[in-house]
Chain A
Amino acid sequence: MEAIKTMRHSVIENPCHACMPLGAILAFKGIQGAMVIIHGSQGCSTYMRRHISEHYNEPIDVASSSITEPGTIYGGSVHLKKGLDHLIQVYHPELIGILSTCLAETIGEDIARIAAEYTVERDMGAYPLVSVPTPGYGGGHSEGYFLAVRHIIARIARPVPKHHRINVIVPHLTPAEVREIKRIMDLMGVDYILCPDYSETLDSPFARPYQKIAGGGTSLQELAMMGGASATIEMSRCVETHLSPGRYLAGTFEVPLYNSPVPVGIEATDLFVNLLKELTGQPLPDVLQRERGRLLDGMIDSHKYNAEGRAVIFGDPDMVLAVSSICMENGIVPAVAASGVHSKALELEMQTLTAGRTDVATVTETDLAVIRDLAVKAEANIAIGHSDGRYLTEREGIPLVRLGFPIHDRVGGQRLVSVGYAGTMMLLDRITNCLLDSKLSAYRPRMLKKYYSEPSGKF
């Protein structure tokens, strides 16, 4: 395998990741009754709301402290405190996330200190304000996501007596995938605390009357219990140690940590259910056995089409790794695996996954312009990733299977399921059908060209 270190050029041409606070917003969306305020000028929060809304087709209410020029000179704490007042008065959230931005961090705002001051000044007692320093230049949205989850847990989890429940930390999946993971665990009779649980909040059903804060999410009580859990399963191979919520729980409360991959693909799902089996002592229920069998059956049916696949895969590190494994399992070469953010872990994991191959390039901290060049060089015939990669199709004719975040040019990104045996089957079918589509549309002209010199005849 060839790990390409990007020459870190100055210009980012068509970025492959968003900024830190965006990911943090998503994490807070998974906490029951939570609202978020972003400390900075209002543009950041407006942009992020727009960006998230367009993917999830859900209202994304995020407040801003709306700092203006004088605030950049005299400090913005007054704005933030006022903003908190208003947010509490109008929405009565159960928890408030306070995020910083490039602006706030550049002028040296200490949001943790402001939050502490506010708690004392307004006599808020134990009211949960969770501040997370998320300057946009500090990392991508996937990093902001984990950092926020870690801070939420650090703020709420208490030293409670040991209990038998299992903590499950999910990376940024779709709400439907979180529901699928919960279904699997329910089937296996696992008693879990899943965090952050945005399965309802970011894909909320139509219901009357309209709720200002969507129902669902990990409750404060559940968060408080996480310190006494019998184990933590953190579905991320790529999260960095200092961002990892599971590490925090292990370090502070000695909750044993299992770093499992995102259960996409048969192997990763096997690992996940096997882990659940061992942790709970429960057998694998018949329903899941049959789902596994059906997946295998489908993989056997599809492998001949997939053997022709050369994929360019891009997005959040954990997603890229997960999709690369599903490709490897069915004979598709993950020719280019790329993430916008820096990820040593992704490079190492890809090395293990593709050991011995020379036709795989992993690149991190990159942009879509570089990805495009690599894809062309690698003669990729399928792209798998978020909708910003659509220009691989437009410019290079590489068809795109949409997956991950954001998906702005299609509906249903929030409802895609690629986890578990059933989800893996759905993703694999989408990939296979995309390859079949190219094959079938090119098949006749190719045969025609090859076997008939006169291109007038029709089959």
Chain B
Amino acid sequence: MLNHNTLDEILNKYPAKEKRNRKKHILIKNITQENQEIEANTRTIPGIISSRGCAFAGCKGVVLGPLKDVVNIVHGPIGCGYYAWLTRRNKGVSKAPMKNFLPYCVSTDMQESDIVFGGEKKLARTIDEVVQIFQPQAITISATCPVGLIGDDIQAVARSAREKYGINVTAYSCEGYKGVSQSAGHHIANNGLTEHVIGAGDMEEAPQKYTVNILGEYNIGGDGWVIKKMLEELGYHIQAVMTGDGSFEELSNAHVAELNLVQCHRSINYIASMLEVKYGTPWLKINFIGIRSTVEALRSLALYFGERELIERTEDYITRELARIEPQLLPYRRICAGKTAFCYVGGSRGHHYQGLYEELGIETILAGYVFAHRDDYEGRQVIPNIKSDSDSKNIPDLHVAPDENRFRLKLSPERAAELKDKIALSTYAGMIQDMKDGSVIVDDLNHFETEELIRILKPDIFSSGIKDKYVVQKMGIPSKQLHNYDYSGPYAGFEGALNFARDVAMSFASPTWNYIEPPWAHRPLLEGTLVKGDMENA
């Protein structure tokens, strides 16, 4: 176990000031302490190798990228767009294959002359060409670093393109230097989608009973499909998924849903809150990763609508599914029992996967987020206590008002009060609450700390992304990528839990590890005895 002395030893490698800084981002869970505080969403220390990305990555890469029938133009030099091209394994199918733009990377490829003379004209020309080639219903423009610096007015370009073509064109000033990580970009994308896209459709009413949106589900490895299938089987209608396998058409009518389900709250909680104000749509935090979480999510959802028949159908479904998968899980559980994990991912998954690990018998002894805020660690109730700083202030909050025509109170205050004790309505718990005494919580874990903590805590498996994957594997420890799932998945729902169990167990059980020690390390391969007489002859 990690104690404060060993932690100090690690941090002593830093200059004094940085040591103080990093110390605030690392916690050892102490159950005798009620509200343990952590620092998060502050600047990355220069020169320390962090896994964080930029606002552009959060905006275009995470939130806008998965919209399949939208052409996402990257306005900037070629690199940024190129690196954000199809790198997230967000799956998408399209009824109209010619309108599935996911495989495309479109960039304005700014050159030195554009930096000097401005890139607005080139952007406008690019839009013309995109309309000509793809004829999309919607276009987004994401700015990368140089754009803001040279003062291109991308909002104006978007506006005139909207007028010229009568299609939905939105611009996002998500230059990479904004905020301190991709988190800033999520917020920027949330603002743009709320202001210009959601509600742009002409539906006035939910098309059927139990209409919900799923927010913060990006369909990595097909997770969204599992969730959708499950909910549809139970009688829900999914209006829009934000944004995995999402489409402009569905998203523009997302205002009609009766409830918003929030999976990855870090990247999308802004939309959830704004839609509540604007259209009166309440939001419910759910987590479809892990068996117990999935059960809880399905129950909360049924309880929200409150109809007997729905509740019963849900219970039946749960019983059936558990009976189906539990026996299949057994062999995997046997392999996984007693193992330990590090779980360092994104802004929600670092928490979401702990339950699933536990269900396999694996204890998470260290967890953290790359770009989360304090509320993701401590729970949503801390938001009023979070001090804003110059970095968070430069991402404007969008203030929305109730929509004159479309606001409907979808949940009475009385019913809301009643439900609040039972389900996670408009709230989420933090990671810290759910962790065991003595476990470690690290914000913005860097490579140096990763290596040191692995040496001390010796986890059996490490969940994170590709940038640390190979460090971990070179240390002889299996890794399980939880950004792109190592080309596997889906991991959501009951089905996904089974896939995850198989993948993790297979990592432990692979014979590969047996060959690390060569046979000659401990004993000679050939054994011989000295036969009398040999010496004389020699």
Q: Which residues of A contact B (CB under 8 A)?
A: 9-15, 17-22, 37, 40-44, 46-51, 53-54, 57-72, 79-80, 82-87, 89-91, 101-103, 105-107, 135-138, 140, 204, 206, 208, 210, 212, 388, 391, 394
Contact = CB atoms under 8 A, between A and B. Distances in A.
Q: Which residue, of A10, A57, A72, has the highest number of chain B Cβ atoms within 10 A?
A: A10
B196 to A, nearest CB: 22
Contact of A102 (B43, B146, B476): B146
Nearest to B130: A11
A204 B448 CA distance: 19
Nearest to B449: A90
B176 A10 contact: no
Contact of A86 (B48, B180, B516): B48
B10 to A, nearest CB: 11
Interface stretch (B314-322, B338-346, B461-469): B461-469
A84 B47 contact: yes
Interface of B: 13-15, 18, 43-57, 73, 76-85, 87, 103-112, 114-115, 122, 125-126, 129-130, 133, 144-146, 148-150, 176-182, 390-391, 394, 447-448, 451, 465-471, 474-476, 516
Contacts of A87: 47
A53 B469 contact: yes
Nearest to B180: A68
B125 A86 contact: no
B122 A46 contact: no
Given A15-B107, A54-B466, A44 B79 contact: yes
A137 B80 CA distance: 10
A68 B47 contact: no
Nearest to B515: A206
Given A10-B129, A14-B103, A103-B177, 15 more contacts: A11-B73, A15-B105, A18-B79, A37-B47, A50-B87, A62-B49, A68-B178, A82-B45, A85-B15, A86-B45, A106-B115, A106-B145, A106-B150, A210-B474, A210-B475
A199 B150 CA distance: 41
B146 A89 contact: no
Query: Which 8 pairs show the lowest CB-CB distances between chains A and B?
Result: A43-B54, A19-B79, A83-B47, A83-B46, A86-B47, A47-B83, A103-B145, A43-B176
25 contacts: A10-B108, A13-B133, A15-B105, A18-B82, A20-B79, A22-B79, A37-B47, A41-B177, A42-B52, A42-B53, A42-B181, A43-B80, A43-B145, A44-B79, A46-B53, A59-B474, A61-B49, A64-B44, A86-B48, A90-B13, A90-B48, A90-B448, A102-B115, A102-B145, A210-B475
A319 to B, nearest CB: 18
Contacts of B181: 42
A21 B79 CA distance: 9
Nearest to A107: B149
Contacts of A57: 470
A207 B114 CA distance: 48
A14 B148 CA distance: 24
Given A12-B108, A47-B84, A106-B145, A59 B471 contact: yes
Given A46-B54, A89-B15, A59 B48 contact: no
A93 to B, nearest CB: 11
A137 B179 CA distance: 23
A11 B108 contact: yes
Nearest to A57: B470
A12 B111 contact: no
Contacts of A394: 103
Contact of A135 (B55, B77, B179, B466): B77
Given A47-B57, A210-B471, A67 B177 contact: yes
B365 to A, nearest CB: 20
Contacts of A86: 14-15, 18, 45-48
A191 B180 CA distance: 50
Given A42-B54, A50-B466, A85 B47 contact: yes
B466 A53 contact: yes
Given A12-B108, A135-B77, A42 B391 contact: no
Nearest to A56: B470
A144 B403 CA distance: 52
A103 B18 contact: no
Contacts of A54: 466
Contact of A206 (B125, B130, B146, B474): B474
A423 B185 CA distance: 46
A72 B177 contact: yes
B110 A82 contact: no
Given A15-B85, A50-B467, A89-B15, A69 B177 contact: yes
Contacts of B79: 18-22, 44, 47-48, 102, 136
Contact of A70 (B108, B390, B447): B390
Contacts of A101: 145
Nearest to B121: A10
Contacts of A21: 79
A70 B394 CA distance: 10
Contact of B49 (A18, A44, A63, A138): A63
B390 A138 contact: no
A201 B144 CA distance: 31
Q: Which residue, of A19, A71, A86, has the highest number of chain B Cβ atoms within 10 A?
A: A86
Contacts of B451: 210, 212
B109 A15 contact: yes
A11 B471 CA distance: 38
A83 B106 CA distance: 33
A72 B178 CA distance: 10
Contact of B47 (A12, A19, A65, A106): A65
Contacts of B45: 66, 82, 86
B125 A10 contact: yes
Contacts of A51: 83
B517 to A, nearest CB: 10
A88 to B, nearest CB: 8
B106 A12 contact: yes
B46 A64 contact: yes
Q: Which residue, of A15, A41, A60, has the highest number of chain B Cβ atoms within 10 A?
A: A41
Nearest to A78: B46
Given A19-B78, A53-B467, A40 B85 contact: no
A64 B446 CA distance: 12
Contacts of B178: 68-69
A80 B45 CA distance: 11
Contacts of B110: 102, 137
A57 B470 CA distance: 6
Contact of A49 (B114, B146, B467): B467
B429 to A, nearest CB: 29
B443 to A, nearest CB: 15
Contacts of A105: 115
Contacts of B470: 53, 57-59
Given A50-B466, A206-B476, A14 B104 contact: yes
Contacts of A50: 83, 87, 465-467
B462 to A, nearest CB: 13
A44 B80 CA distance: 7
Contacts of A67: 177
Contacts of A210: 451, 471, 474-475
A137 B112 contact: yes
